[in-house]
DNA sequence: TGATTGACTATGA
DNA sequence: TTCATAGCCAATC
């Protein structure tokens, strides 16, 4: 495991930083984060970064879903139902592993952070 | 070093 | 609209 604060892992650190900025009750997509970091083609890498986010505190990985609002990463949590429960706990409706009214809950760092 | 995998996305049928 | 395929980037084997 490399040091998260090292330059070589800056991408991962940036991903975690953006995820922490996601407001409660909001969600975003891997692609949106990747694009905000300047690497729109690295959406899969964002997912990989999330895979290691579980060991860090204050990284609400459950607020990151794919572009369809589907809880594609639910199975990577402690329990497959944990992601859904966390989202529901924040006021987000989840049905059949998918976020209802996803468009309304969507939080785009490219717009909200409006760099 | 080379091949495979994956919490993705875009495009075409 | 739904399904299949291609491209992408980093990590893992």
pLDDT per residue over A39-57, tens digit each? 999 999 999 999 999 889 8
Domain ranges within chain A, ordered by starting residue: 7-108
**How would you write A41-88 as a 3-class SS string?**
CCHHHHHHHHHCHHHCCCCCHHHEECCCCECCCHHHCCCCCHHHHHHH
Give A57 CA → C3 C1' in Å.
39
The yes/no answer on whether domain A7-108 falls in CATH 1.10.10.10 is yes
Q: Is the CB of A42 under 7 A from strand C?
A: yes
Q: Nearest residue to C12 (CA, C1')?
A: A48
pLDDT at position A77: 94
Of the candidates A38, A41, A96, the one whose C-alpha atom is nearest the C-alpha of residue A72 is: A96
Q: Nearest residue to B10 (CA, C1')?
A: A41
Separation CA A68–CA A58 (nearest Å): 24
Per-residue pLDDT band at A5 (split at 50, 70, 90): low
Separation CA A19–CA A13 (nearest Å): 10
């Amino acid at each position: 495991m490399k040091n998260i604060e090292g330059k070589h892992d800056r991408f991962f650190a940036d991903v975690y930083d953006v995820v922490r900025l996601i407001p409660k009750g909001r969600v975003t997509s891997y692609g949106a984060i990747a694009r905000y970091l300047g690497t729109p083609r690295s959406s899969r890498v964002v997912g990989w970064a999330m895979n290691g986010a579980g060991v860090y505190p204050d990284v609400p990985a459950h607020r990151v879903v794919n572009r369809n609002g589907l809880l594609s990463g639910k199975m990577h949590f402690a329990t497959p139902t944990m992601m859904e429960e966390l989202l529901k706990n924040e006021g987000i409706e989840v049905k059949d592993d998918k976020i209802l009214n996803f468009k309304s809950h969507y939080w785009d760092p490219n717009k909200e952070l409006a760099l």
